[in-house]
Amino acid sequence: MNMIDIHTHILPQVDDGSPNLETSIFMIEEAVKSGVTDLFCTPHFYRLKNYRSSFSHNQAVFNELQTVVQAKGYPIRLYLGSEIFYTIETIQDLRDKTVIPLGQSKLVLLEFSTGDDHEDLGEAIHNVRSLGFIPVLAHMERYRYAGDKDWAIVKKMGALIQVNAASVLGISNRSYQKKVLKMIKQGLVDFVASDIHQFRSNHLLEASLMIQKKFGFSMVEQLFHNERPLHE
Ligand SMILES: [Fe+2]
């Protein structure tokens, strides 16, 4: 069975994810040990933080990493994507292919501000969908302005929801865990992913064991083996 991580910062020297190839390989080895079979590299595209590594540069770095991974014979498939900080420029960026969906799919990983300002998630979803893409909202549990109803509304609008494995375990923040488990129970979550950066573990194995214990294996399948990004 495929285990899919749709949100990682593994590519070297394109954002705050990995400082060099050696670290990237270490992160891939951890993914393999955790059972990940399909991994999407999703570098930040976030102009305000000056993460604006171009698609062509990311593609070149990705090809290099993939060559090393294949030479080492690791049983893992890699795909390229972007984690896009949503702004009014995002639609044009998608049209220009400055930013890209997850692999060959129509799924687009979007991130929003975690501050106190209420972001208009609905408008972002509407705009991205009007281009024919399916928005995936990255680490939804971090958007404190999004109440329980908002999770249901964004799903109704046709977006998918990703939460972080560390939040499932309550590692970074207990309130994130409470929120995530409640939303999983309501069937509103589509993906658990690592959002891995060099300074943390991917936590996927522990998170999947915990979900299995609490909700059973069918929920593990729904959240960790969701193959939509491989086919749609
Ligand atoms: Fe991320």
pLDDT tens, residue by residue, 64-89: 999 999 999 999 999 999 999 999 99
pLDDT tens, residue by residue, 123-151: 999 999 999 999 999 999 999 899 999 99
Q: Residue 48: its pLDDT value, please?
A: 78
Helix (H) or strand (E) holding 210: helix 204-215
User: How far, in Å, from the CA of 152 to the mean position of ligand 1?
Assistant: 22
User: How far, in Å, from the CA of 7 to the mean position of ligand 1?
Assistant: 6
pLDDT at 200 over 90: no
User: How far, in Å, from the CA of 16 to the mean position of ligand 1?
Assistant: 10
User: How far, in Å, from the CA of 88 to the mean position of ligand 1?
Assistant: 20
Instruction: Please state, for a pLDDT cut of 90, what percent of the chain lies above it.
Output: 88
Please state the rounded mean pLDDT for residues 23-45. Answer: 96
Q: Residue 50: its pLDDT value, please?
A: 81
Q: Residue 1 — pLDDT band, cuts 50, 70, 90?
A: confident
User: How far, in Å, from the CA of 156 to the mean position of ligand 1?
Assistant: 24
- The CATH classification number of 4-231 equals 3.20.20.140
User: How far, in Å, from the CA of 141 to the mean position of ligand 1?
Assistant: 13
Its pTM stands at: 0.95
Arithmetic mean of pLDDT over the chain: 94
Q: Which residues contact 139 (CB under 8 A, 6 or more apart)?
A: 7, 111, 162, 163, 164, 167, 195
Q: Residue 14: its pLDDT value, please?
A: 93
Q: Residue 226: its pLDDT value, please?
A: 95
User: How far, in Å, from the CA of 172 to the mean position of ligand 1?
Assistant: 14
User: How far, in Å, from the CA of 195 to the mean position of ligand 1?
Assistant: 5
User: How far, in Å, from the CA of 185 to the mean position of ligand 1?
Assistant: 24
Handedness of CA 53, 54, 55, 57 (dihedral sign): negative
pLDDT tens, residue by residue, 24-33: 999 999 999 9
Domain definitions of the chain by residue range:
4-231
User: How far, in Å, from the CA of 232 to the mean position of ligand 1?
Assistant: 22
Helix (H) or strand (E) holding 39: strand 38-41
Tell me the three-class secondary structure of 46-106, residue by residue.
EHHHCECCCHHHHHHHHHHHHHHHHHHCCCCEEEECCEEECCCCHHHHHHCCCCCCCCCCC
pLDDT at 63 over 90: yes
User: How far, in Å, from the CA of 231 to the mean position of ligand 1?
Assistant: 22
